[in-house]
Amino acid sequence: MRFFVGTTLIILLSMPSSVILAKEYFAERKVLRITFVSGLIYDYLDVPLEVYDEMKKATSKGTFLNTRIKGIYNFKRVQ
């Protein structure tokens, strides 16, 4: 994303998460699958598509996971 603040051009780059390696969303089941850098995989259940869309836009995926997913949606460990 590029924008100006006064005459200064600001460029925001998508940074990889230090906690989340990958994320997948299974719309037909409303399951958000998170693969952590540790190799652990968790499925978060009944997550609305809107929440996944917000996560994709979030600056910090890990912070979003901790504040908007964990403790709100049930989960199960996949691996």
Distance between CA atoms of 3 and 63, rounded to whole angstroms?
Answer: 24
Query: pLDDT tens-digit profile of 44-54?
Result: 999 999 999 99
Lookup result for tokens 């979030």: 58
49 is written with which tokens? Answer: 């598509």
Ranges of each domain in the chain: 14-77
pTM, two decimals, is 0.78
51-58 long-range contacts, Cβ below 8 Å, gap at least 24? 52/23, 52/25, 55/23
Query: pLDDT tens-digit profile of 14-68?
Result: 445 788 899 999 999 999 999 998 999 999 999 999 999 999 999 899 999 999 9
